[in-house]
Amino acid sequence: THLPVKHPVMNETKVRRSFLKAACFTLALAPGILLGQSVETMNNPVIRTVRVKSQGDSVSEQYVLGYVSLRAGQPFNKDAAANTVRALYSTGKFDQVSVVPELDIKNGQVDLVVVVEPRPTIAKFEYIGGDGLFDKESDDRYADGLRIGEPLDKAALRRAEVKLQTEIRKKRPFTTVDAQTYKVAGGVCVSYVVRESADLRVDNITIEGANQLSQNEIIEGAELKASNWRWWKFSWLLSNGRLDPEDYKKDVTAIIEFYRSRGFLDVKVEEKDKSEVDHFIKGEAFSDAALSTAAEKIKEYYGQMGYLNANVDVQRKPNLTTGVIDVSFVVTEGMRFTVRAIDIQGNTKTRSKVIARELALSPGEVFDLARVRVSEARLRNTQFFEEVRIMPVPTSVPGQSDMRVLLKEGPTGSVSFGAGYSTVEQLVGFVEYSEGNFDYSNPEGWYRGAGQKFRLRLSLGSVSSTVEHSFEEPSLWDR
């Protein structure tokens, strides 16, 4: 189920010009549908033609039309258009689907353009790094539904990324995997980049709370429970020194068994101060502000990986005798989220597709909060909006969140005029109109909303007069 991309109805006075016969409105932004004001206000315009436009790889027009329930000669129906979008998405072959009505207001007709962006075909897999940590020849083992010759599913790609990382962490606990794609002959290459962590080694081990038995007794006693080949129970400490969570669990179990063999039936062994950072501002004066900044940086790091609800708990343990404070950061990751749908609100004149071009995230990708901030900055830099805010919205699907874009439109046009006197022109005057969010195909919206740049200047003089105009389309063919 996909949430619709919303677009408020514009309420400006309508202006019609006979020389502009058609006004184009984007109907859909993946994974939903958007209806322009003119389509809704026209009294059931009749569909004149239906055609297919592919953005990206070529696609069979007959294949796409097979999922389109709208036909020439029928009245336009927004529910049928929405069903078309959903049906094409359900094939799993497209990243973007939209139905664009090109209106002939004079004749009360509409030409429908079904715009699709086919998913790229997987041409090959590659694995970079992680030598010896997993079997690079077993593509199917980590593919999670991805196959050579089939369309690339971004959600499946993220699942495969997690699956491979889980497998590798059995041998190297803190290693990360980043799944990337790039174009090659015949489609795209799925590249898994394995970033191996440095071996984390334990410098020291301390057993506290053992009042009846000494630390040496516990270590030696635990060793008596070990297998013959493991000459020292705490192998992760004294054998290779590598910190391994699984070995740690085994050692805790061995200590408990040793205590029970000595008659202590109710014993509990816990790790002290997980994620302790004993070198934070070591030797420097303690600062609450610096501590808060560090905690926020940790939370931002997890936010970049899609952990929207990650929590960082800061624990302070001051020693009044020595004047030293120990600081611990306890991180609760929570669930990792991907973007399910994008909901754009508040754009009373700017088209949703113009806004979507500035977003650094799309449905199916990891909900990266760093890229959310990039998206906000891009939207502000357009100078179309007074306020920009992007937030995650919970959904009923575990691990998926909608991305809501909240906007407040600002002024984008200006009119200036003036007069003067020169020895050549005598009396001169000028008037100039400029619009930074122009739309030549939208008379109903006062020719605003497509992000185009337009300038018109008229200069009048006693000797000569001039007309200057300029037009800029920053995204030709919606690219």
469 or 168: whose pLDDT is higher? 469
Q: How far is CA 203 from the centre of its chain?
A: 39
Residue 184 has φ and ψ, to the nearest 5°, of -140, 175
Tokens of 465: 């007069």
Predicted local distance difference test score (pLDDT) of residue 14: 32
Task: Give the max Cα distance, the chain.
Answer: 112
Range among 280-289, 317-326, 432-441 rated most confident: 432-441
Higher pLDDT, 55 or 402: 402
* pLDDT of 12 over the 60 cut: no
pLDDT of 170 over the 60 cut? yes
* pLDDT at residue 273, as a whole number: 42
The whole-angstrom separation of Cα 429 and Cα 446 is 26
Residue 166 has pLDDT above 50, yes or no: yes
Buried b (16+ CB within 10 A) or exposed e, 173-205: eebebebeeeeeeebbbbbbebebeeeeeeeee
| pLDDT, position 138 | 57
Percent of the chain with pLDDT over 90: 8
pLDDT in the model for residue 87: 86
390 pLDDT more than 90: yes
% pLDDT > 70, the chain: 72
pLDDT at 20 over 70: no
Structure tokens given for 416? 């200036």
In the predicted model, is pLDDT for residue 375 greater than 70?
Answer: yes
Summary mean pLDDT of the chain: 75
pLDDT greater than 80 at residue 245: no
Q: For residue 206, what pLDDT is reported?
A: 66
User: Phi and psi of 123, rounded to 5°?
Assistant: -95, -35
Better-predicted residue by pLDDT, 270 or 30 = 270
Please tell me the distance from the alpha carbon of residue 349 to that of residue 7, in angstroms, as a whole number: 9
Predicted pLDDT at 267 = 72
Residue 133 Cα distances to 124, 129, 166, angstroms:
21, 9, 11
Q: What's the mean pLDDT in 135-153?
A: 70
| Mean pLDDT, range 126-140, rounded to an integer | 68
3-state percent helix, strand, coil for the chain, nearest multiple of 5? 25, 30, 45
Q: What is the pLDDT of residues 26-72, one digit of tens each?
A: 333 333 343 444 455 556 788 899 989 888 777 888 888 888 888 88
Output 39 or 23, whichever has higher pLDDT.
39
